[in-house]
Each structure stands twice: as C-alpha cells, then as structure tokens.
Structure 1
Amino acid sequence: MQPNQLTSGDVIADRRADYAKMLDESGEPDAAAELMEQALELAPRWAAGWYRLAGYREKAGDRAGAIEAYRQTLEVTPEDIFGAGLKLALLGDVATPGQPPSSYVERLFDDYADRFETSLVEKLDYSVPVKLAALVATTGRNYALAVDLGCGTGLLGPEIRDSVARLEGFDLSQNMLSKAAEKHVYDHLAQADLSLAPDATGLFAEGAMHRADLVTAADVLMYLGNLESLFAAVSALVVAGADFAFSVEDAGEGDGFHLAPSLRYAHSETYVRALCLRHGLDVAAVSKTAIRKDGANVISGILFLTRKAA
C-alpha cells in the first residue's frame, strides 16, 4: 500500500471512510470524524485518510484535532502532496510558507486536467484569458516570441495566437500540458516549476535567456506566494522593451500577500508594483476585475500590463 493512495488498502477501513463521507455530507462532521478515526486505526499510514479526518475535525470546530491530523498527514507524506502544510499555516500552527509545495500543485492540476475547462469556464465564469488578451491587444504590437507561463490547458494561447509568431507554453502539470497540446496552438510545450530559482525552473532549457518579447501568466501567481523569484525569472526571459501581462488575486490594502482559505495566495497592488520597480518593469495598465466565482463568492483580481525598460 502506498501512503498517498486515495483508498487505504483495507476493505473495512475504506467502508468506514465511505460512511464517514456520507455523514459529513449530511452535516454531521463530528460523527464523520469519529468513524474516520476508526478507519485510521486499521490503516494508520493512509495519508489521504488523515487529511480527510483533519477536514472533518475542522468542520466540527476541533482546531487542535485538525492540527494533529494534518501533522499526521505530513508525517506519512513529507513531500506534502495534499497541501497539509498550507492548512497548518491557515490554522496558525506554522508560519505561512513563501511557496506551496510543488508536489501539491502538480498533483492538484494533474487530477484537475480532465475537468479543468468545464469547471472553470462553464461553471465558475472564469474570464482571465479573454480579459488579459484584451489588455495585451491594447499595445497594438505583434510579437516574435511569446512565453505563456503556467499555460494549463491552453486557454490563453488561442486568444493571443494571431499576434504572435512563435508561442511557447510551460506548466508544472504534465496532464495540463497534454490538454494544451490537443489545441495545436503552441509551437513548444514543456514542464517548468516557477517556484524554483530562475536557472532551475526549466524555462531556459530550450533556448537562450532574454529571448521573449511577450510573457503572459494568467491566474498562475496565486499558486506562488513570494513572487521575487518569479519576477527574476521573467527579467531573465525577456528582451528590453518586452511586455509582461499577468493576473493576481486581489489582497486589498497592504503591501504584501497572504494565503487564502482556498489555499491560493492573494497579492496586493502595492506589493506587485514594488516588484515591478525592483525588476525594471514599467506598469502600463492596471485593471481590477472579477476573475472567477468560488462557490457563491466572486473572486476579485488585478490584471497588470507591464513593459521591461530599455
């Protein structure tokens, strides 16, 4: 049995976990937690089970119990594919990490790839690719080489393709890249980890630095906390006079970023402007807008169009 399996490997434990899920869905998280504890007595190395128990305890108002279960999740899977460390940060048990675990983000989008576009576009009114492309179009420029960071399934690519001679896409999730390839829009697709130092991201394996005159990042930065390394990577990627268009979730007032209950990061306009200044990017346009729904809530974002100083 592998510790990251979504089933425990024990038939009785799985049955109790299924009943626990039913109890939680019927509004009985206390009872769900009790049954999940019984399942974990039979399968104590089941990481996904510990993560589920933590969620039930959270809903039941048992903060200490939730923390203990998230810690157990991390003990079983130190690579943290479930994002338990982020949950512990939200509960105040540990400091907010500057970046989420790459293993968590990769697994999240590998699992999400098949239903990504249906969920976002059709159900959550996701609009960033269209709005970001419209912002880029205001420049009136045609670009020799555009690099789409965190390209996902390739929603932005078709929106900018007509004004780009060559289009490269990079993403952490191989499953998302496979979906993007089906669109036949990108000239090159490859895996990259934007949370790493610039020379370790994978962005420069297929070409020289300072090669792009357009870089885009549609709803990518919310899966990064501290953006210093990302902006350094963009500075190494672009030529003088290049445009960098991107979106963030709006953190409101303040000069930093924070981790939201969604396990995404929100960044303030002040924080982003300071980064632009440090990395030689002139802010050409800023647009505050709704970017998607999250359940019954509308998520506010900020779109930026910036240009690398000559």
Structure 2
Amino acid sequence: MPARLFLSSGDLVADRRYEFARDLQIRGDLIAAADLLEQAVELAPRFASAWFALGKIRHELGENEAAITAFREACAADPEDRHGASLHLMQLGAEELSDMPKAYVQTLFDQYAPRFDQALLDDLGYRGPSILFKAVLSVRAAAKKPAFFRRAIDLGCGTGLGAAAFAKNVDRFIGIDLSPGMIEQARATGLYAELEVDDMLNGLRAKDDASADFILAADAMVYLCDLAAVLAEVGRVLVPGGVVAFTVETHDGEGVVIGEGLRYAHGAPYIRATIEAAGLKLSALQVAATRNEGRVPVPGLVVIASKS
C-alpha cells in the first residue's frame, strides 16, 4: 500500500507527538497513542493528520462516537479531505453515501503509483484485466462479432494494466485517470495514443457523441458510488453496437454499500437497473473475484454491455 499521508500541523511539538503516537500505534499500544494524539490536536486544533489517526484508533478501540467526532474534525481541518475521513464517516453510518473526495483519490494513487503494479499483482493477486478480456471475447463470439475495436477509452486507466490486456484487439486507446502519477506510469507503457488527467465523468463528457467503439473500466467503478451518470455518458459516447466492459465489487443486497476496504460494492440488481437506465443492453453479468484482501477473494462482478 502507499505510504501514509502526513500533513504537518506547522507546530513542531505537535508533529513530534503525532510521530510518537504512530510508533505506539504500530506497537499495538492504542490507548497511549490516542492520548498523545489528543495532546497533538490540543496544541494544533487544525491538525488533520492527527485527527484522522485518532479517528482510526478510536474506531479500532470500539469507541465509535469518539471516532466520528475525530473524523469530522479531520474533514473540517482539511476540506479537500485528502485522508478520506468522510469515507470512514460513511462506513460508520454518520454520513450518507456519496462519491469519494477527488483529492483523496488523487492523493492515494499519486502515492501508490510507483509500486502500484507490484502491490496489485503480487500482494492482491489482481486479475481483473484478464477476466474482462476473456468475458469480452466470449460475448463477442456468442454474438458472432469480432472482438476488435478501432477506438477505445480506458476509464481510470491507472498504470495501463487494462490496456495491456486488450492491446492486440484495440487500434487506438485513450486513457483517463485522476492521478497524474498514474498517468506518468501509463505513458511509459506506450499503449496509449492519448492520456488525460481527469475523473471518469468529466473525461467522458469531453468526448463527442458516438466517438468510441469500446470503453473499459477495470477496477475503477469501485471508486464511484452512483454509476448512473458515468454509464449515461458511456451510452452517449459509444457508437451503435459499441461495447462497455467493467468490474465492480459486489454484495448480496440490492443497492450500494461501502466495504471494509473503503471501496464501493454494487449489488447485481443495481447494476442491471443502471445499465438499463443508460439505454444499454446487458450482455453478461458474471460473478468473479478480481482481487484478494487478506488472501481472501473479494466478491465481484464482471459486466459487459452494448449500445443498441
């Protein structure tokens, strides 16, 4: 995983107490760590990193009301919410589900970029692109259509793992990712004709009607709460007969929840309804785990749809 984010308080003593608290936390002395963090935020009341760390410790100690208070203070101290404190508030039921703060996603993946492939492939056993590729081949074969595409868009392209899986089947890839660090890694692959730093929705909104034959989103939709707006744009940007392929994490319910890994999980009924609302035709909805957490496969879905 990426290095933890640290935003200095500007107070040397408060920063030192934060570092001592983190050492105690690593050694398992959560109560002493929490005490030091309380001292740090007393010295520097706008110390976002200390409030966030305190929130996590309070949650781990089962003190959920105190955790909610600390996470709210972290959000107030850093309105961009680069730590993602609001996600923990959603997880604790203190806030309604909403999309992730853009600054959090960008910061997370900028930190993650240098070792992203190693962490994803080696540590998490990531296999999303290969599963998506096989699913697209199967759907196209069943429809008696070739699995070759002239113009493709890779949403949340990351370092280019998705494009690499489809490289021999796509003439021209455009990659879109919110993280400049990820875009630089993707640029080094030589797989993309164009690369853009943007979120998925705005990236699609900038594209012309019927300008893509294929749209890919491998392990990217897990960072969106509501998929409706993105899928509506997918429907607009695809040519008639064009294909979209993406993965989501899932759960047994109908709607959207936020999981322990701070990613959204979308129920199968929600996926079906949202695909239909976007004017797309569902071609495949397959149960598949594209990654592991703690060596345990994470429940997921592979989704293939087309524009009529």
TM range (shorter): over 0.9
**Pairs within 5 Å for 1:180-259:** 180-194=186-200, 196=201, 201-205=202-206, 207-252=207-252, 254-259=253-258
Task: Render the CA deviation track for 1:135-192: whole Å, top value 9, x for unaligned.
Answer: 2223232111011111011001111111111111111111101100000011111022
Q: Under a length normalisation based on structure 1, what TM-score does the superposition of the two structures give?
A: 0.91
- Amino acid corresponding to residue 113 of structure 2 in structure 1: A
- Amino acid corresponding to residue 236 of structure 1 in structure 2: R
Please, what is the CA RMSD of the aligned residues?
1.6
The answer as to whether partners of 2:204 and 2:234 remain within 8 angstroms in 1 is: no
The answer as to whether partners of 1:33 and 1:56 remain within 8 angstroms in 2 is: yes
- Amino acid corresponding to residue 122 of structure 1 in structure 2: D
Task: Render the CA deviation track for 1:72-106: whole Å, top value 9, x for unaligned.
Answer: 11111122222111211211222222x11112111
Aligned to 2:272: 273
- In structure 2, what is the Cα distance between the partners aligned to 1:277 and 1:232? 10
Structure 2 residues without counterparts, runs of 5 or longer: 141-145
Q: CA 1:166/1:296 → structure 2, altered by over 3 Å: closer, same or farther?
A: closer
Q: Under a length normalisation based on structure 2, what TM-score does the superposition of the two structures give?
A: 0.92
- Amino acid corresponding to residue 117 of structure 1 in structure 2: D
**Pairs within 5 Å for 1:1-310:** 6-97=7-98, 99-138=99-138, 139=140, 140-194=146-200, 196=201, 201-205=202-206, 207-252=207-252, 254-309=253-308
Cα deviation for residue 266 of structure 1 reads 0.2
- In structure 1, what is the Cα distance between the partners aligned to 2:19 and 2:214? 49
The answer as to whether partners of 1:192 and 1:203 remain within 8 angstroms in 2 is: no
The total of aligned residue pairs comes to 298
The answer as to whether partners of 2:205 and 2:233 remain within 8 angstroms in 1 is: no
The share of aligned pairs that are identical, in percent, is 39
Aligned to 2:143: none
The answer as to whether partners of 2:232 and 2:279 remain within 8 angstroms in 1 is: no
The answer as to whether partners of 1:144 and 1:213 remain within 8 angstroms in 2 is: yes
- Amino acid corresponding to residue 77 of structure 1 in structure 2: D
Cα deviation for residue 204 of structure 1 reads 4.7
Cα deviation for residue 286 of structure 1 reads 2.4
- In structure 2, what is the Cα distance between the partners aligned to 1:204 and 1:61? 43
Secondary structure at the residue paired with 2:204? coil
- Amino acid corresponding to residue 288 of structure 1 in structure 2: V
